[in-house]
Amino acid sequence: MRAYDVEHVLRLSILSPSEKRRMKAIVFRAPGDLVLDDLPLPSPGPGEIRVRPQSVGICGTDTHILRGEFPAARPVVLGHEIAGVVEALGAGVNTLREGDLVTIEPHVYCTSCRYCRQGQEHLCLEKRAFGVHLHGGLAEAVVVPSRTAYRLPPGFDARLGCLAEPAACCIHGMDRLSPRSGAPLLIIGAGPAGLILTRLARLAGAAPIVVSEPNPTRRAAALSFGADLALDPAAPAFREQINDITHGLGFDSLIEAAGSPATLELAIELAARAGRILVFGVSPMHATATVRPFDIFVRELTIIGSVINPYTHERAVNLLPRLGLHQLAITQFPIDNFNDAFAAQASGAAGVKVQIRPQD
């Protein structure tokens, strides 16, 4: 496998005179500075494809980027949850055809650092992501290496297809946590990832599954995704209800899927002895939590990180039809209304999942 040519991607704006086509793209220029720009249509180089994104999800990471809370290139086209149609093939691409509906695994790796060379590419020292460091899918077109594209069944709903990316991250998280069947599990936060994790926990046999979520709409969604109980952490009876369901012992497995120091502190508080806590949510990069080391020591807690989706994208595609994602309240916006879409994502006001249709 050749090292991915980042320079090539950065050079994509230099096109031959015969290709003076343009495209709309949502460009992050600086914290708080997101614009709809007009960029040259990129051409696929050897081993690459050009995709016309149909549905592109916005997630908490995008909100963090926009607020300057997550490291990203500037300027860069955002959008890393991508489902679209293959429009053009670069030289040597023979695994895909024009017209294929695909979902993109948005990361590229250096292939030669210590982590790449020991099978941990997702920890690569030079990891790059489309929509974070390289131009992403919130545009009328995006060029990616063909090996990052996974074919979806013809006619598959692109709104659900672009959820393969967060689903693949959730599968990696569950691999890391490996919850036991019949052992109590808590998920903190019922955004799209929290809901997918709820479904995966149900498929894995964890029981009972409790979801902690302040938003009543999301609590109702958690029940339809497989939670036995969905609790409001601000309710006075919250801890009493948790004590009742765990017999005062706490949870064996806990997933922090809200992305805040306070919810990590809550997970540590509610962990049973020998509890395993998955840090899944993306907290602001400089945020700090207060932890009593004695708690970790005396209860033999295990705190587990989970970053992105190594080797899990194909499994996510296989699982998509079984995740019940049609139950997600998805709100879509045309590309021109990107400001409304990002405002809806930041406020949590528009259902559970916000997506943009770059072709509209």
Distance CA(46)–CA(85), nearest Å, equals: 18
Stretch that binds Zn ion, among 66-74, 113-121, 137-145, 154-162 (CB under 5 A): 113-121
221 binds Zn ion (CB under 5 A): no
Which among 134, 23, 24 has a CA at the least distance from the CA of 74?
134
Q: Which is nearer to Zn ion, 44 or 57 (CB)?
A: 57
Q: Where in 29-88 is the site for Zn ion (CB under 5 A)?
A: 59, 61
Length of the chain (residues): 360
Phi/psi at 156 (nearest 5 deg)? -60, 145
CA distance linking residue 219 with residue 205, whole number of Å: 20
Shortest Å distance, C-beta 112 to Zn ion: 6
Dihedral sign (CA 105, 307, 344, 216):
positive
State which residue, 93 or 139, has the beta carbon closest to Zn ion.
Answer: 139
- Tokens linked to 248: 């005062």
Q: Using the rule CB under 5 A, is 193 a contact of Zn ion?
A: no
CB of 57 to Zn ion, least distance (A): 6
Distance in Å, CB of 109 to Zn ion, minimum: 5
Q: Cα–Cα distance between 21 and 141 in angstroms, integer?
A: 11
Identify whether 8 is a catalytic site residue. no
Is 122 a known active-site residue?
A: no
Residue pair 174/257 in contact by the 8 Å Cβ criterion: no
Calculate helix-pair angle for 216-224, 192-204, nearest 10 degrees: 30
Options 44-52, 117-125, 136-144, 188-196: segment touching Zn ion (CB under 5 A)? 117-125
Which of 166, 284, 263 lies closest to 212 in space, CA to CA?
263
Dihedral sign (CA 292, 297, 299, 305): positive
User: Of 61, 103, 198, 312, which residue is the catalytic one?
Assistant: 61
Q: Least distance from C-beta 167 to Zn ion, angstroms?
A: 11
Nearest residue (CB) to Zn ion, 69 versus 87: 69
Q: Find the binder of Zn ion among 65, 124, 279, 330 (CB under 5 A).
A: 124
| Helix (H), strand (E) at residue 39 | strand 33-40
Which of these ranges, 21-29, 83-91, 112-120, 293-301, lies near Zn ion under the rule CB under 5 A? 112-120
Asked if 277 and 256 count as a contact pair (C-beta separation under 8 A), the reply is yes
Please identify, using beta-carbon distances, which residue of 72 and 231 lies nearer to Zn ion: 72
What Cα–Cα distance (Å) separates residue 117 from each residue in 1, 47, 124? 12, 22, 9
Size of the site for Zn ion (CB under 5 A): 7
Tell me how far, at minimum, the Cβ of 282 lies from Zn ion, in Å: 8
User: Which listed range, 108-116, 139-147, 149-157, 238-246, lies at the site for Zn ion (CB under 5 A)?
Assistant: 108-116
CB of 192 or CB of 250, closer to Zn ion: 192
Q: Quote the least distance from Cβ 281 to Zn ion, whole Å.
A: 11
Measured from the CB atom, the residue of 61 and 212 that comes closer to Zn ion is 61
Should residue 113 be labelled a site residue for Zn ion when binding is judged by CB under 5 A? yes
237: left (phi over 0), alpha (psi -120 to 50) or beta: alpha
**Which residue's CB is nearer to Zn ion, number 41 or number 59?**
59
* Neighbour count for residue 314 (Cβ, 10 Å): 15
Among 227, 220, 217, residue whose Cα is nearest residue 187: 227
By CB under 5 A, name the one of 116, 168, 227, 323 that touches Zn ion.
Answer: 116
Q: Least separation, in Å, of the C-beta of 291 and Zn ion?
A: 26
Binding test (CB under 5 A) with Zn ion, winner from 88, 110, 289, 329: 110
Written as six digits, the tokens of 51 are 């995709």
Interface residues toward Zn ion, by CB under 5 A: 59, 61, 109-110, 113, 116, 124
Active site residues: 61, 64
